[in-house]
Amino acid sequence: MKITALLATALLGAAASAYAAEAPDSWAKNCAACHGKDGAGHTPAGKKVGVKDLTDAAYQKTFSDDQAATSLKQGLKDKSGKDQMKPFADKLTDDEIKTLVAYVRTLQK
């Protein structure tokens, strides 16, 4: 019984580590075009849609992990209904989104 529990814990830990290792690649592939490699948003696309500086600790305090995950899943629209950020629900799993949110938290200075 103890061996089964240890094995399950090890497998879950390995899966979490795999997702964590993939977070920078997922960021680069899905987010950096607008948010920048560093998360500051100083890209032409980021400036066009007015992305927030994710390196700003004060800004990061304005949203919860759940809010960030919902934004990633559903995307964001401006007041006129125009897409500011496309939804990723069909592209990323819930675990990948959760790991990406954790990665975003590491960007603050």
pLDDT for 71: 96
Q: How far apart are CA 48 and CA 83, in angstroms?
A: 12
Per-residue pLDDT tens listing for the chain (109 residues): 556 554 444 444 444 444 466 899 999 999 999 999 999 999 999 999 999 999 999 999 999 999 999 999 999 998 899 889 999 999 999 999 999 999 999 999 9
Of 4, 19, 43, the closest CA to residue 102 belongs to 19
pLDDT for 20: 60
Those residues whose C-beta lies under 8 Å from the C-beta of residue 59, and which sit 6 or more positions away, are 52, 53
Of 4, 108, 2, the closest CA to residue 57 belongs to 108
Q: Apex CA 40: angle with CA 34 and CA 41, to 5°? A: 25
For tokens 């560093």, the residue is: 38
pLDDT for 40: 97
| Burial of 10 (C-beta count, 10 Å sphere; 0-12/13-18/19+) | exposed
Could you give all domains of the chain from N- to C-terminal order, each with its CATH number? Answer: 23-106 (1.10.760)
pLDDT for 2: 55
